[in-house]
Amino acid sequence: MRTLHGIAAAALALAAMAAHAGRSCEPRQPTAQTIAQGMQLAQQTAQALDASGARVVVLARAGQDLSRYGLRYSHLGWAYKTPEGPWRVVHKLNDCGTAVAAVYRQGLGEFFLDDLWRHEAVWAVPTPAVQQALLPLLADGARATRLHQRAYSMVSYAWGTIYQQSNQWALETLALAMEPERAQTRAQAQAWLRLQGYQPTVLRIGPLTRLGGRMTAANVAFDDHPPAQRYADRIETVTVDSALAWLQHARLAGAPQVQVLSPEKF
Amino acid at site 203: L
Dist CA 260 CA 41 (whole Å):
7
Q: What is the pLDDT of residue 265?
A: 44
Q: What's the CA dihedral at 74, 197, 185, 89 to 10 degrees?
A: 40
Dist CA 133 CA 55 (whole Å):
11
Per-residue pLDDT band for 210 (boundaries 50, 70, 90) equals very low
Q: What is the pLDDT of residue 130?
A: 98
Most confident of 8-12, 124-128, 260-264: 124-128
Q: Are 19 and 91 in contact (CB under 8 A)?
A: no
Neighbours of 217 (CB within 10 A): 16
| Mean pLDDT of all residues in 195-211 | 79
Does the pTM surpass 0.85? The reply is yes
Candidates 233, 217, 188; CA nearest to 25 is 217
Per-residue pLDDT band for 240 (boundaries 50, 70, 90) equals very high
Q: What is the pLDDT of residue 15?
A: 35
Is 1 or 116 the better-scoring residue by pLDDT? 116
Above pLDDT 70, what percent of the chain?
83
Spell out the residues 6+ positions from residue 51 whose beta carbon is closer than 8 angstroms to its own: none
Residue 47 burial (CB < 10 Å; 0-12/13-18/19+)? exposed
Question: Over 90: is that where the pLDDT of 245 sits?
Answer: yes
Per-residue pLDDT band for 262 (boundaries 50, 70, 90) equals confident
**pLDDT tens per residue, range 138-169:** 999 999 999 999 999 999 999 999 999 999 99
- Kindly report which listed range (53-57, 98-102, 207-211) carries the lowest average pLDDT score: 207-211
Q: What is the pLDDT of residue 207?
A: 57
Angle between helices 166-178 and 128-139 (to 10 degrees): 110
Question: Over 90: is that where the pLDDT of 213 sits?
Answer: no
Degrees, nearest 5: CA angle 14-135-78: 40
Question: Over 90: is that where the pLDDT of 171 sits?
Answer: yes
Residues pairing with 199 in the sheet: none
Region for residue 53 given its phi and psi (left: phi exceeds 0; alpha: psi -120 to 50; beta: otherwise): left
Question: Over 90: is that where the pLDDT of 216 sits?
Answer: no
* In the chain, where the domains are located: 2-260
CA atoms within 13 A on the CB side of 32: 11
**pLDDT tens per residue, range 4-50:** 333 333 333 333 344 555 444 555 667 888 889 999 999 999 999 99
